């Protein structure tokens, strides 16, 4: 397994170095391992030796890309994207958060093991430059959750959300949470000064606000210090959105955000 | 709490142009409907953000109704089309979370449909009565405070 990752890392480093020489780029954003073994996004400039890449643990590079683009709108940036990152960029682009024309994407396919770890049904970007797209994986955690009757589900979430320390980590790490004023900080939606935060409105508001944007990268769940399985909630909402409105998150920049528009196909059941 | 002594607390968000007038029509027609519904008049059903519904449940409602104009009749041309996507998605979220989606109802009631308004509210109240109280906060009392009844 580690040999596999090592081979992928070497190939990725080669492709990055190639892109840096071929294209007129300011740099390429990719997670890099620091001295303590943790990963953080790094901007490799042309001429810099591409070393210490961190494929595992992966660090989703979207926040770094958005910030870099906001600070330097003219810069042509390269970025290494996995499937979820690429779909996230599509959703950000249609909401004017990134300019795809100034980005050069280097598509990295997840390994079959990584896909199974995430239970990911789309473990590769639209264009794969490094690696081989694995088959979609089944999400056993979600399948198991769906077997619970309603009362058990609510009890499940009650226990999970009781551990929330309201660090806002899920919101802050999320590339799709770019609102300047967040409803979770507004006392008329969520009572302030309570710990754990008001059950269940705190988490349900976030789940509702990410509908149509969440691509299921799982950054929120990894960032959660309490280990709340947030992706169950968001994955199921994404599946419902596709089933009801036919909106596949991250499919195309030309599809307008599903809930913010007037188009109505009359498929919804209420 | 015994189910037969349970009086559902229902909040209805009614659009100003159709459904609120429809409720008015029911009143003018002396039509009887359960007094469990507390009506909040909004300018448009499209104004009813999912957050607002969630907060209503959070504050102790057992059921929430969102009533708006029929398609094509929206005073703002398209507000109800947005509602027609948001509220069903919210119902899905409630279901995933473990709240019966039947506790949230979206219906179209026009200004002349007093009869329909009374029927919809009666039927919804019966649904909630059957489902029982929404016990989101078991530690808190689920009986309505004396001041919280309909004035």
Instruction: Say what percent of chain B tops pLDDT 90.
Output: 82
Chain B residue with the nearest C-alpha to that of A146: B96
Let me know whether A75 and A164 are in one domain.
no
Let me know whether A112 and A164 are in one domain.
no
Q: Does residue A265 belong to any structural domain of this protein?
A: no
Let me know whether A180 and A147 are in one domain.
yes
Domain that includes residue A161, residue range: 140-245
Residue B89 to residue A259, Cβ atoms within 8 A: yes
Q: Does residue A134 belong to any structural domain of this protein?
A: no
Q: Does residue A227 belong to any structural domain of this protein?
A: yes
* Per-residue pLDDT, A269: 54
* Per-residue pLDDT, B123: 96
Let me know whether A14 and A110 are in one domain.
yes
Residue A189 to residue B55, Cβ atoms within 8 A: yes
What ipTM was reported for this prediction?
0.89
Closest CA to B43 of B18, B12, B8, B25: B18
DSSP output for B39-51: EEEES-GGG--HH
Helix ranges restricted to H, chain A: 2-22, 62-71, 83-93, 112-118, 140-146, 150-161, 169-173, 201-209, 219-223, 230-245
Length in residues, chain A: 270
- The helix (run of H) or strand (run of E) holding residue A43 is strand A39-44
Q: Does residue A42 belong to any structural domain of this protein?
A: yes
Residue A140 DSSP SS3:
helix
Let me know whether A47 and A89 are in one domain.
yes
pTM, two decimal places? 0.89
Q: Does residue A130 belong to any structural domain of this protein?
A: no
Mean pLDDT, residues A205-210: 94
Q: What is the mean pLDDT of chain B?
A: 89
* Per-residue pLDDT, B4: 63
Whether the pLDDT of residue A264 is over 80: the answer is no
Let me know whether A6 and A112 are in one domain.
yes
| DSSP summary character for residue A137 | P
Q: For residue A240, give the nearest of B51, B89, B136 by CB distance.
A: B89
* B91 reaches A (C-beta below 8 A): yes
Residues of A with CB under 8 A from a CB of B: 148, 150-157, 183, 189, 198-201, 204-205, 207-208, 211, 233, 236-237, 240-241, 244-245, 258-264, 268-270
Q: Does residue A48 belong to any structural domain of this protein?
A: yes
* Tens digits of residue pLDDT in A96-110: 999 999 999 999 999
* Per-residue pLDDT, B125: 96
CATH of domain B3-137: 3.40.50
Q: Does residue A232 belong to any structural domain of this protein?
A: yes
Mean pLDDT, residues A193-201: 87
A81 bridge partner residues:
A107
Contacts of A163 (CB under 8 A, 6+ apart): A196, A226, A227, A228
- Per-residue confidence at A57, pLDDT binned at 50, 70, 90? confident
Domains: count for chain A: 2
Let me know whether A158 and A202 are in one domain.
yes
Whether the pLDDT of residue A84 is over 50: the answer is yes
What residue segments make up the domains of chain B, in order of their start? 3-137
Chain position carrying tokens 């508001």:
A205
Chain position carrying tokens 């008001």:
A198
Q: Does residue A70 belong to any structural domain of this protein?
A: yes
Let me know whether A144 and A236 are in one domain.
yes
Let me know whether A42 and A90 are in one domain.
yes
What is the arrangement of strands in the sheet containing A77-81, beginning at the earlier edge strand?
A39-44, A27-33, A77-81, A103-107
């Amino acid at each position: 397994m580690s040999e596999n990752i090592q081979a992928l890392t070497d190939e990725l480093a080669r492709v990055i170095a190639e892109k840096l020489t071929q294209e007129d780029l300011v740099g390429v954003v990719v997670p890099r391992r620091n001295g303590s073994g943790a990963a953080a996004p790094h901007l490799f400039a042309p001429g810099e030796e591409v070393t210490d890449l961190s494929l595992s643990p992966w660090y989703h590079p979207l926040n770094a890309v958005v910030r870099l683009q906001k600070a330097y709108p003219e810069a042509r940036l390269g970025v290494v994207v996995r499937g979820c990152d690429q779909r996230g960029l599509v959703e950000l682009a249609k909401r004017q958060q990134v300019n795809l024309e100034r980005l050069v994407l280097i598509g990295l396919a997840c390994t079959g093991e990584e896909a199974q770890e995430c239970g990911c049904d789309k473990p590769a970007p639209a264009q794969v430059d490094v690696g081989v797209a694995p088959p979609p994986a089944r999400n056993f955690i979600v399948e198991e959750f769906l077997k619970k009757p309603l009362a058990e589900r609510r009890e499940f979430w009650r226990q999970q959300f009781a551990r929330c320390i309201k660090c806002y980590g899920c919101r802050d790490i999320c590339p799709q949470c770019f609102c300047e004023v967040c409803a979770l900080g507004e006392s008329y939606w969520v009572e302030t000064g309570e710990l754990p935060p008001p059950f269940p409105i705190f988490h349900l508001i976030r789940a509702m606000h990410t509908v149509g944007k969440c691509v299921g990268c799982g950054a929120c769940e990894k960032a959660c210090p309490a280990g709340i399985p947030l992706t169950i909630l968001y994955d199921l909402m994404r599946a419902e959105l596709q089933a009801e409105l036919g909106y596949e998150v991250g499919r195309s920049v030309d599809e307008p955000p599903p809930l913010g528009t007037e188009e109505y196909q009359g498929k919804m059941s209420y | 709490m015994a189910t037969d002594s349970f009086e559902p607390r229902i909040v209805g968000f009614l659009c100003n142009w159709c459904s609120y007038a429809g409720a008015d029509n029911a009143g003018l027609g002396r039509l009887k409907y359960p007094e469990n519904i507390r009506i909040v008049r909004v300018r448009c059903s499209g104004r009813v953000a999912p957050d607002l519904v969630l907060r209503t449940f959070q504050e102790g409602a057992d059921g929430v109704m969102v009533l708006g104009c029929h398609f094509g009749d929206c005073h703002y041309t398209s507000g109800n089309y947005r509602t027609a996507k948001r509220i069903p998605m919210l119902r899905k979220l409630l279901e995933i979370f473990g709240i019966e989606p039947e506790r949230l109802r979206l219906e179209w009631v026009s200004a002349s449909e007093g009869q329909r308004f009374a029927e919809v509210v009666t039927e919804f109240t019966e649904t909630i009565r059957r489902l029982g109280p929404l016990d989101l906060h078991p530690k808190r009392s689920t009986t309505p405070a004396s001041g919280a009844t309909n004035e």
